[in-house]
Amino acid sequence: MKQDLYQTVVNHILENQDQFYRLAFSYAKKKDDALDIVQNAICKALAHSGALREPRAVKTWFYRILIHESLAFIQKREKETPADPGDEREFPYVEMSYTDTGDLFEFINALEPDSREIIKLRFFEELSLREIQEVMGLNLNTVKAKLYRGLKHLKQSVGEEWQ
């Protein structure tokens, strides 16, 4: 019985690892850090696979863990990094080498915490509002409000090109 759930988690990880990496990377912006985040998330998920009540919830459940790990990681990294402006250049956005949209990623990361997650889940991971609600543990109206607020901020940051 338990074995079934464990297998569900394992299959889900095997099938979606690339997506997990991309989401982690969108936070960490560094290859090694993104790999660390994904690894931590997998360990957490396997250790707590018993907490997953039903297999169908595995998708939102894993996103919740992954986002938690991503946020915890960047928070820790910020703390450990001395407030030396020179160090800031350790984490430039060069790996993706984006020109115009590169800024958009920056803008999204600069959004207030919940809106940032919701926009990533909605537009990059293409989750439904209901799924996002489960991931974030917020009610539907709050999710919608934060989504629209985030979009409004983005629109302001991007300016004219926003169509």
Partner 1 sequence: MKVLKEAKRRYDQIPIPDRLHTMVLETLQSTGRPYIPAMEKSFLLKKRPRPARYIAAAAAMFFLLFTTALNTSPVFAQEAGELPVIGGIVRLLTFRSFSQEQDGIGIDVNIPSIEGIAEDTGTSDAVNEEIYRLCSQYAEEAMQRALDYRQAFLDTGGTLEQWEAHHVRIQVDYEIQSQTKQHLSFVVRGTESWSNAYRETRYYTLDAQTGEAITLSDVLGEDYAALVNQSIRTQIAQREESGEIDFWEISEGGFDGISGDTQFYLNDAENPVIVFEPYKIAPGSYGEIEFEIRSEK
Q: Given the rule CB under 8 A, which residues bind partner 1?
A: 1-8, 10-11, 13-14, 17-18, 21-22, 25-26, 31, 35, 38-39, 42-43, 46-47, 53-56, 96, 98, 101, 104-105, 108, 123-124, 154, 158, 161-163
- Give me the least distance between CB of 112 and partner 1, in Å please: 18
Please work out, in degrees rounded to the nearest 5, the angle formed at the alpha carbon of residue 45 by the alpha carbons of 44 and 46.
Answer: 95
- Asked if 67 and 24 touch (Cβ cutoff 8 Å), the reply is no
- Give me the least distance between CB of 40 and partner 1, in Å please: 9
Taking alpha carbons only, the member of 126, 112, 10 closest to residue 71 is 112
Between 79 and 99, name the residue whose CB sits nearer to partner 1.
Answer: 99
- Give me the least distance between CB of 86 and partner 1, in Å please: 27
Structure tokens at 77: 């990294």
For helices 129-136 and 58-80, give the axis angle rounded to 10 degrees.
50
Between 25 and 73, name the residue whose CB sits nearer to partner 1.
Answer: 25
Residue type, 92: P
Between 3 and 141, name the residue whose CB sits nearer to partner 1.
Answer: 3
The residue behind tokens 């099938």 is 15
Between 55 and 149, name the residue whose CB sits nearer to partner 1.
Answer: 55
Residue type, 35: L
- Asked if 116 and 109 touch (Cβ cutoff 8 Å), the reply is yes
- Give me the least distance between CB of 148 and partner 1, in Å please: 13
- Give me the least distance between CB of 79 and partner 1, in Å please: 25
Rounded Cα distance, 55 and 61, in Å = 10
Between 44 and 86, name the residue whose CB sits nearer to partner 1.
Answer: 44
